[in-house]
Amino acid sequence: MTANRGISGCRAVVCVLVLWSLCPVPAAIAGAGKIFIDLGRGPVLVRVPASYDPETPTPLVMLLHGYGATGRTQEAYMQFAPIADEFGYIYLHPEGLEDPLGNQYWNGTDACCDFFGGMTDDSGYLRALIEAIRQKLNVDDRRVYIVGHSNGGFMSYRMACDHSDIVAAIVSLAGATFLDTRDCSPTEPVHVLQIHGTLDTTIFYGGGCLANCYPGAVQTVETWAGYDGCAIVGDDSSKPIDIDARIPGNETVITIYDTDCAPGGSAQLWTIVGGGHIPNLTDDFSRQVVEFLYAHPKPNQTDGDLDGDGTVGVKDLLILLGSWGPCDDCADCPADLDDDCTVGVKDLLILLGNWG
């Protein structure tokens, strides 16, 4: 994928929905600790960051591989393990089951990628993995995140549809949500980031069909903006960024849907202009993704009880007013009740609406 990531020859390999088995896998990165969770499919390695404190809630990041890939090869491509200690998140990249062709897959949406009708309950399995980790480690309930590529991207949307009560945000690279909105019924808002190349010839930027048809990148993001109660008006005023090292300059255009969203919801589209299904990821890619995730937790559940006395009153109002303005740390800003990284009028209205 990218010479910058030390897997030079394999970066050029393009197979149907990412067949990664030819790529070498680097040695495992030593971490502060690890546990194994086995729910009947074999042990899943869960990395525990060096900063982990049983008394402190810790974010969790789950990476989902593409069709025909494995968790290890997906990690070798995206490289979230090397920065897990720096950001302090629990990390895992579980494995899907094999189909009759010997390719590992996730039963994501009706389009991808249960091509042989196995009807595997991967959604329930991944939810159970998260719950099992929560029993062993102090997971931050506001910061459970899922990242997926291709089939893993489809599966990340499935998780957001089925388990919006625990999933704070997802990032999909070259995946898509359900085409039929009736197939997805999130009970809570979920922050969504879709990353997609305009020249993707496997999962088309404008939509297409596999087992069934799937929406394009814009339709996917606007569908989730609708689920999240956002105005379907994208803001593309942000500066472009560099995601694909093979394309000169800052080729990726950012479009944000975060106006009038329900607390805990927003949608973004990062369009890699000229990018394909397997972008030549820059060294900063994983960091950019984690920074997006950390800036998008589930909303505070205090609804204005900032001093923790069980009542929303004058003390809480004074705390909120004292925090007025942009947050210094988006992930640690209790008065930011609508999670837009700014304490302002919307937060004041939430607090006043819960007075007493």
pLDDT (0 to 100) of residue 337: 84
pLDDT at 317 over 80: yes
pLDDT (0 to 100) of residue 19: 37
**pLDDT category of residue 13 using cuts at 50, 70 and 90:** very low
Residue 256: in which H helix or E strand, if any?
strand 252-257
DSSP character at residue 291: H
pLDDT (0 to 100) of residue 32: 59
- Which structural domains are found in the chain, ordered by start? 3-294 (3.40.50.1820), 314-353 (no CATH)
In 3D space, the residue among 310, 309, 320, 314 whose CA is nearest the CA of residue 350 turns out to be: 320
Two tokens, residue 167: 């999933």
Two tokens, residue 82: 């090397």
3-state secondary structure of 118: coil
pLDDT tens digits for range 240-263: 999 999 999 999 999 999 999 999
User: What percentage of the chain exceeds 70 in pLDDT?
Assistant: 90
- CB neighbour burial string for 63-82, b if at least 16 within 10 angstroms, e if fewer: bbbbbbbbbbbbbbbbbbbe
pLDDT (0 to 100) of residue 303: 72
Longest CA pairwise span in the chain (Å): 64
356 HSE (CA, 13 A, CB side): 2
pLDDT tens digits for range 289-306: 999 999 999 987 667 888
What is the rounded average pLDDT for all residues in the chain?
A: 90
pLDDT at 125 over 70: yes
CA angle 23-212-164, nearest 5°? Answer: 80
pLDDT at 352 over 70: yes
Q: Which residue has the higher pLDDT, 224 or 312?
A: 224
**pLDDT category of residue 23 using cuts at 50, 70 and 90:** very low
DSSP character at residue 116: T
pLDDT (0 to 100) of residue 338: 79
pLDDT tens digits for range 171-184: 999 999 999 999 99
pLDDT (0 to 100) of residue 330: 81
User: What percentage of the chain exceeds 90 in pLDDT?
Assistant: 78
Q: Which residue has the higher pLDDT, 114 or 329?
A: 114
Q: Residue 205 and residue 219: Cα distance in Å, rounded? A: 10
CA 250 to mean position of chain CA atoms: 22
**What is the pTM for the complete model shown?**
0.82
- With tokens 């994928």, the residue in question is 1
Burial class (CB in 10 A: 0-12, 13-18, 19+), 185: exposed
Determine phi and psi for 215, rounding to 5 degrees.
-80, 160
pLDDT tens digits for range 132-179: 999 999 999 999 999 999 999 999 999 999 999 999 999 999 999 999
pLDDT (0 to 100) of residue 241: 98
Two tokens, residue 25: 């896998």
pLDDT at 326 over 50: yes
pLDDT at 15 over 90: no
